[in-house]
A and B are shown apart, each in its own frame.
Chain A
């Protein structure tokens, strides 16, 4: 069903709206320009997607958040460890470079950005499509990117071998931070995407 072009269009629209809203909120918070671009929205094979991620071999810190309600989604936001320190400085309004090692502030910064972005996505579903979603508290993980991504997928792909991935990258222009976001529909959330497609 997810291969239907109309549903792909719905996925891309939800992703774009969420990303626009997330960009606005985040830019305000850190008082600097943040641009979030959607890189990809695709249905991919579990093995191929994770092979690509494993190839990256970086250490990251990420926040996993469940969006639960009329539909269920799982959201992942991650940055490289060095970038989490810059995020901490931006959010604490300190000079960039003040945080020199990964600490509780860097971890909290990632948790907070994850919260902001997940709330933005929930807001779009509620305001534009009358679909209520509530974000759960973020779980922050500091690990290899491949390991983090596997845990993100773990509860979602028990019976399935294909995963719908919405991948975005945001850039904080002045500091050149690259972050990644993934949104994964769970269970019968495909029906919600069908509904959105039908209302377009």
Chain B
């Protein structure tokens, strides 16, 4: 298995959201960050958010400037963008999540684990089920989200590519 060779590709940076419809593929690389992919099967539409930190105080300056940076503001913002751009309600969305590795071993806190917990909590609060996840470990991830079928190809550095 290889990553998708397509022209219609969107790349996601840190604290970034991209939403699109098929035939697009949305890609990113992750370290301790978490990528949450939301997909609406019928519309073949989806979005990815690249979350860097677990929480921001609601209505704080940081949250206002970059909602996609914090799990508790990023996931509502991704849902909002799916609604604004494609008219898709949260009830139609399913989630997959990836990343959250602990690459820098000398860090005392495991920010990847905190990001994962906060992302799961944010999805639970809005009632979106998580269909698949690959998280943790000590290496980075490459993730490609295919909006044709909602499948995600994920490779943890040094491992083979898996499909979720």
Contact of A150 among B31, B66, B139 (CB under 8 A): B31
* A144 with B15: CB separation less than 8 A: no
* A150 with B104: CB separation less than 8 A: no
Contact of A46 among B15, B101, B103, B107 (CB under 8 A): B15
CB-defined interface of A56-84 with B at 8 Å, one 1/0 digit per residue? 01010000100000000000000000000
* B15 with A147: CB separation less than 8 A: no
Residues of chain A contacted by B15 (CB below 8 angstroms): 46-47, 161
Q: A51 CA to B17 CA in the complex, in Å? A: 11
CB-defined interface of B26-39 with A at 8 Å, one 1/0 digit per residue? 01111111000000
Interface of B is mostly: loop
Q: Which of A47, A57, A59, A141 counts the most chain B CB atoms within 10 A?
A: A47
Q: Which residues in chain A, 136-152, are within 8 Å of chain B measured between CB atoms?
A: 139, 141-148, 150-151
* B139 with A143: CB separation less than 8 A: yes
Q: A147-B29, A147-B140 are in contact. Are A154 and B104 (CB under 8 A)?
A: yes
* B104 with A151: CB separation less than 8 A: yes
Q: Which of B11, B53, B68 counts the most chain A CB atoms within 10 A?
A: B11
Q: A94 CA to B62 CA in the complex, in Å? A: 52
* A50 with B31: CB separation less than 8 A: no
Interface of A is mostly: helix
Residues of chain A contacted by B33 (CB below 8 angstroms): 150
Q: Which of A49, A59, A147, A161 counts the most chain B CB atoms within 10 A?
A: A147
* A47 with B65: CB separation less than 8 A: no
Q: A89 CA to B26 CA in the complex, in Å? A: 39
Contact of A139 among B11, B104, B142 (CB under 8 A): B104
Q: Decide yes or no whether B148 CB sits under 8 A from chain A.
A: no
* A146 with B140: CB separation less than 8 A: yes
* A143 with B11: CB separation less than 8 A: no
Q: Decide yes or no whether B114 CB sits under 8 A from chain A.
A: no
Q: A144-B140, A147-B140 are in contact. Are A47 and B16 (CB under 8 A)?
A: yes
Would you give 6 A-B contacts (Cβ < 8 Å), ordered by A?
A: A47-B16, A47-B66, A51-B13, A144-B29, A146-B142, A157-B52
With A46-B13, A154-B111 known, 5 other A-B pairs at CB within 8 A are A46-B69, A59-B157, A145-B29, A148-B140, A154-B31
Residues of A within 8 A of B (CB): 46-55, 57, 59, 64, 139, 141-148, 150-151, 153-155, 157-159, 161
Pick the 5 closest A-B CB pairs, nearest first.
Answer: A147-B140, A146-B29, A51-B13, A50-B13, A150-B31
